[in-house]
Amino acid sequence: MMIITQKITSLACEIHDGMFRKDEELTSSQRDLAVRRMPSLLEYLSYNCNFMGILAGPLCSYKDYITFIEGRSYHMTQAGENGKEETQYERTEPSPNTAVIQKLLICGLSLLFHLTICTTLPVEYNIDEHFQATASWPTKIIYLYISLLAARPKYYFAWTLADAINNAAGFGFRGYDKNGAARWDLISNLRIQQIEMSTSFKMFLDNWNIQTALWLKRVCYERTSFSPTIQTFILSAIWHGVYPGYYLTFLTGVLMTLAARAMRNNFRHYFIEPSQLKLFYDVITWIVTQVAISYTVVPFVLLSIKPSFMFYSSWYYCLHILGILVLLLLPVKQTQRRKNTHENIQLSQSKKFDEGENSLGQNSFSTTNNVCNQNQEIASRHSSLKQ
- Residues carrying an active site annotation: 209, 240
CB 164 within 8 A of CB 104: yes
Annotate 89-105 with DSSP letters as a single string: EEPPPPP-HHHHHHHHH
CB 231 within 8 A of CB 224: yes
Which residues, including other chains, have CB under 8 Å from residue 196's CB and lie 6 or more apart? 149
Which residues, including other chains, have CB under 8 Å from residue 11's CB and lie 6 or more apart? 35, 39, 44, 47, 62
SS3 annotation, 361-387: HHHHHHHHHHHHHHHHHHHHHHHHHHC
Dump strand ranges (E) for 118-252.
175-176, 182-183
CB 57 within 8 A of CB 162: yes
Q: How far is CA 270 from CA 200, 287, 335, in A?
A: 16, 19, 19
Tell me which DSSP letter residue 222 carries: G
Long-range (24+ apart) CB contacts under 8 A made by 119-124 are 121/146, 121/147, 121/150, 122/147, 123/147, 123/148, 123/151, 123/298, 123/301, 123/302, 124/302, 124/307
What's the burial of 241, exposed, middle or buried (CB within 10 Å: 0-12/13-18/19+)?
exposed
What's the burial of 62, exposed, middle or buried (CB within 10 Å: 0-12/13-18/19+)?
buried
